[in-house]
Structure 1
């Protein structure tokens, strides 16, 4: 069986490699979806993780290219029986406000199946796209990051002295870091907050300006994305990860932190309530509304006082469970196309 995936690998997100490996371990031939005509028409299954260009292509050339790819999807489906799946990480691209409704509608009309990483994402999609409610779909979970980790995850240890909260990742506006920096002004002397990652377009400079009065705040802003060993090291050096998103559907960052045995502080949005219910309230602290200094102090106290074991149980997020679900769903989709 053949499948082409876009992207199949990434230097900054091991999730896509673990996703592809699930098919390889089942004996499938896995390639990168590169939008070349011949490989697409000769394929059986195409999987897209983040089809952002179909939502909002930035210029005329990009829009024309996106329409050409829609035409290829149409031709491959109707004349060659190729099936197309979208893994719904988020409903619209992060940081993009204005989309092209016709282009996006054309893309979703050419899909044969959907993979959702939480029940909440399925419900949200159905509310936004009722015309696609009957499209074949799989509701699964975002796999963990223990498989293939470059360093052994450090076990959880209760803070002895200062409690270190940590944000790590790309420094982007949709992550609500301005609010996090402002809330850090109200932290007590027992807590410090680290903000680390790749910052572009002057946004890091703006964050530094906002956080100048916060003694508990420490920046580690880079001119290039962090490699995975650095990512693991920074998470392991913390007592908890904080994800101050203003809008989120699913969070790979939360799974990464839990995979390193670090509790997570995040808003009660998207599928994060499902994550808390699965791993336990001692591992995931969710807050309602805005992130304030009071919320941050309460979360830090929770990190210090909640009883939790040294290792977070992630059985339901194990690729040994999720991988076969993905393969079986794909097999059924292809078999249905042949029937």
Structure 2
């Protein structure tokens, strides 16, 4: 049987310096893979271009590309609705990588309806770990490491340094981290907060909570890769105080830079701890406390391997694994169309 060489419309625009590294590395891996052609997102390409399969990551980013003006948002929502009509009429297979298990909480009613429409059209889901539950067909393709991405100069670890990096959003619990750290009695410990806040109100809250404690350094804004490397490697322990965590690229970023992580006690993190080896993943249950921070730091100081085992997360086979999913989704849709007597 002749192999299908699909043309894939991906939901991200052409990668730039500020693009999520996962997206950039996956786009590069796909473009190195024989037998697949990648088209990055634009509304002209989506509405009028030729493609065989759509691959979504965070579909809400398509809806949010209209800026803050209401007129711009309405235009984008209208264009997205037209895209959904096209996908429905043409029965184009939709593949979705399930980075998050729930719809975003901060979307409008109209956005929610459009996102639910994307969900109904999804014919194959890619999950990043075996714990993600969603309707089938489902394929697990593990999130790759960042060892080849974060290559900037490393800092020597500073004794007692704790660090949070990444986007600052409500569900990530950074406010709770600052409050818990302020209760830490050990004056030799320091805490860094670095990353862009999702709202100015959240930024103001974190800055206010940190005021008056000279041990806390707050840097709220875009964090270039080299600055992220410097911040993470300066830490003895990276602290991710999420109220909810399912998949986290930041955990893998810290591990790729050979730094241990304190993260919520979840089944996914327990699996990751077993995968990478002892001493790298430390967990807390419930709300983060000063006691949990001090206990994790003490444990992180115990002997461990020089680097975590990330051999299961190489990028070499990511392109082929995704191509297999695209072909399966396309073959299944064509078979369904033939059975229904619909031209393909």
TM class by smaller structure: 0.7 to 0.9
Tell me the distance in 2 between the aligned counterparts of 1:74 and 1:39. 10
The aligned counterpart of 2:193 is 195
Which residue pairs with 1:50 in the alignment?
58
Aligned residues: 321
Residue in structure 2 matched with residue 212 of structure 1 by the alignment: 211
After superposition, the Cα gap between the structure-2 partners of 1:66 and 1:271, relative to the gap in structure 1 and judged at 3 Å, is farther
**Greater CA drift, 205-214 or 67-76:** 67-76
For residue 90 of structure 1, report the CA deviation from its aligned partner.
0.8
Distance 1:193 1:328, change over 3 A: same
Deviations 1:190-232 (A, max 9, x none): 422111222451433322221234443222333xx11111111
Tell me the alpha carbon deviations over residues 36-92 of structure 1, each in whole angstroms, 9 at most, x when there is no partner.
Answer: 26765510121111111688999686467435434433434543x532111111134
1:147 and 2:148 matched? yes
Alignment of 1:163-178 (within 5 A): 163-178=160-175
Which residue is 1:105 aligned to?
A: 116
Distance 1:195 1:263, change over 3 A: same
Contact 2:8 2:54 in 1 (8 A): yes
Query: Which of residues 282, 285, 294 is equivalent to 2:282?
Result: 285
- SS across alignment from 1:271: helix
Q: Confirm or deny: 8 A CA contact 1:54 1:103 kept in the other structure.
A: no
3-state DSSP of counterpart to 1:144: coil
Partner of 1:285, secondary structure, is: strand
| CA distance, structure 1, for counterparts of residue 270 and residue 87 of structure 2 | 39
Structure 1 SS opposite 2:254: helix
CA separation in 2, counterparts of 1:41 and 1:9? 19
* 1:87 correspondence with 2:97: yes
Q: Give the unaligned 5+ runs of structure 1.
A: 127-132
2:39 corresponds to 1:31: yes
Partner residue in 1 for 2:319: 323
1:76-120 deviation digits (Å, cap 9, x = unpaired):
4543x5321111111345561665554333221111211111122
Retained in 2: the 8 A contact 1:191–1:300? no
| CA distance 1:17–1:40, shift in 2 (3 Å) | farther
For 1:120, what is the secondary structure of its paired residue? Answer: coil
Deviation at 1:152, TM superposition (A): 6.4
Structure 2 residues not aligned, in runs of 5+: 336-344
Distance in 2 separating the partners of 1:74 and 1:98: 20
For each residue in 1:147-181, what CA deviation from the matched residue of structure 2 results, as whole angstroms up to 9, or x when unmatched?
23342667xx8x67x32110012232221111100
What CA distance in whole angstroms lies between the structure 2 residues aligned with 1:45 and 1:99?
A: 27
Counterpart-to-counterpart distance in 1, 2:108 and 2:294? 36
| Distance in 2 between residues matched to 1:85 and 1:72, nearest whole Å | 15
What is the root-mean-square deviation in Å for CA atoms of aligned residues? 2.8
**SS of alignment partner, residue 320 of structure 1:** coil
Taking a change above 3 Å as real, the CA distance of residues 115 and 291 of structure 1, as seen in their structure-2 partners, is same
CA displacement at 1:335 relative to structure 2: 2.7
1:301 to 1:12, Cα distance in 2 relative to 1, 3 A: farther
Alignment of 1:1-339 (within 5 A): 1=5, 2-7=7-12, 8-10=14-16, 11-27=18-34, 28-36=36-44, 42-52=50-60, 62=73, 65-66=76-77, 68-76=79-87, 78-79=89-90, 82-92=92-102, 96=106, 99-100=109-110, 101-121=112-132, 123=133, 126=134, 133-134=135-136, 136-151=137-152, 162-187=159-184, 188-199=186-197, 200-222=199-221, 225-269=222-266, 271-305=268-302, 307-339=303-335
